[in-house]
Chain A
């Protein structure tokens, strides 16, 4: 039996390679995701280990507001400079240095634009001298107030040289300030940066003022242990001396913690990639199922003969499953290898993008190997199980008969399909209506999966009318008509092939529907709400939003024709111990008018220094009313008590709470992020815009745009997300194309005699190719049509569920759907090329004589 299985495997190489390829691609995604995150994770480890290698013990204030990797960079509150002396007194401490080291030092390059880092922080620091790690490559240390030193990678990116004047924006000053670049440094091992971080060193007082906002403070104190004192002992001694208000860690701990927080982000990324792998594998499952079904159907005679000469049903199942295992095993090995390559390539690209992250060696974690083999084998065997079962039911008598594949009724499969679709719909409903009891995401995903499988099972039934309707387009020509009839010939096969394409297209359509609706709803709301003709804002390139000089707000207000100006600040704060997004406005009255806010209680036109406004939703959920007092802890400063003085109606665009402008100095980013300008009626936008632009000359991170351009810019991040998802889902579509090729190739093989006859009675080669192409196009357009319909349904369900979240308009991307259908037609043509050529080359005589 084993021998026979191997022989039959070899005899069907091409077919198995095609279906195996689907597994290879899916497994590649799995192992690639693991290899990428492992490699990047270890690279981060080594970057941080290096960065903190010279620190024995590090002292920092406990963060006042904890933020996670998704919310932004953690900003720690400053420490008083006097603490440095206290630390120095601790026995066992050889030295203690106050360090300023904060995100937000942005160098303006020679082209007048801010140099961005796309991820890693842009640190502003105080110069504390060279070390084993950090060495000046050129020039000298900063000595005067207007002197800076920057790292080599930053100097290269900014195209600036020692001796030049360089503009810098800092955390507390978003107005360009000129410094003289007096030196450029690098790191040991000839590195120009550590992990792509941009660094600017000032003299200590300047760093304190510009990066921390006040004199005589530091972010952290680094302590060197005296000879013979272990880091751990020193840490414990320092901690005991300083008390519980401070975080005292060894350098190793700091490195590990910093790395762990980044890795949290990576594991999220890993999950997303695995999600796409799951989609690819689902599609692959359809393809394998189809291939094995066809193989079994074609081998009916052979398998029946085996039964006739004494093989048991179990042995038949065994032989089919054995084939599946062989295919799965080979595909897993190839997929793993391809995944390692892809992971390495992506890590390399990521390193380049992140400003030259030095990659640790490519690692293949056990999870990648185990995952690859488990997924590859399980998927292949599970997909082959059904065909194997069918094979075992072939009666021995079939060996003696000329069995045409009987047209089995579709009743069973249709009933099953309806049931599975129903289960999917119920799960989706539960998940989307929020009744899934904490399992919302998995319920929704389960619902989507069931819906896909259910629709796939229903597809044979749907395929008959739809395919004949689609095919009607091609029926004007004889090859077209024949192709159309062929595609309706084996509804199950057509259905599974089309269903594979459906999955990818449905997901892309669904995501497009959701994102377009979100975009449209937000745009519409913004159009309705924002009564500002001009908006100051910048394109966010990294974790830190662009900011500008608050002085611009007052200058803009003074321009002729300007009626109202409002500058917006924002940060994560803790209110009564709960993390909440807090906003502050430079002018609460303007804010109210520009956003047309409606009061539901109290007064929202003014705000005293200890007063706070809340949105109606927030007030309801937190139980606040006018006169309630709350405790607010911001990133910097002490906790303060605010009184709710007014409540405004919630909308998508309102902030949960609004603080007075004076509170903004304690925000992690104490500079305005957006500015809204309302003009006097009758004033031309084009008259004012250039004047505001001129005011922003020293705030190169932002620009002024009219309202529509601003809304477009704000929603453009959704476009990027959509493109990314589409690219990742394209893989699922590629696998589906393999499925179409496979199905057609097999059909051509099965219909050799028929093709020979057609050629014999005068069908030209080109007409033969046309016939196969029509068949492919009908199948692929059918799949895409199903996908568009199912995807629209799923997307609309999600949009409906998100109505309360502010996605009020269902926007159907007709253009995109048209593109998908067109794309499907092209896919069909492409998939048909090889089978069509093969069909056209059929030797007429051989085909007819072949028995």
Chain B
């Protein structure tokens, strides 16, 4: 049986990593104070019957909140809706972003302008974009097609929101894909062309494997953004069950419904789901990465 060789870290490597970590320190400190500490402070509340956040009365109720949530139809529905939205948003945001990147990754004045135009929606707030889109659906889509706006049509609300979310973020994914595409040496394509490889074959055997790191970034980001989507359903689907994403469920529980303990428990469940899922997807995608 081969002996495992102890991994040695050189002093220089330690210095480099320490230097990198130093740059992150302000952010890590801020994150710790503003998010991490409150998060851990909040965990005990998920085991209480705390109602309104202005109330000082709360009693330990064990795992009641978790037991209730994990068997509750509406909470599970909210998770299902969130997953459905996230999957479609992740898929469409990446596919369209990649498609655009392939079209305009080479530098030219037209492509530079096009990149700016496609990236512009990302600078718009989700709420503002969603409200504009609700008018586009009603005043343009409905008038042109005679159909009901997807935001007002049972069964289509999630799809309507996927379009809005993907429209906003595809410029971001596009930029990451463009950056990845620009790092691929032309030599690979020239060699493949000489060998008679078709464009499709070059794409599947050269381009795709070499931009996997961009997939990792984009998919992980959109996965996290999708699972925690809150402002979009709040802006355009407040009163329909289809707009009841998990983040909205958490918000409603804590604030509108004055069930802070329950809301805290649902937030922790979502956090666990998110960390596990992100970790799984990241590991899987990292496994596909190849050295250029």
Pairing of A with B:
no
Report which B residues bind A (CB closer than 8 A): none
Interface residues of A (CB under 8 A from B): none
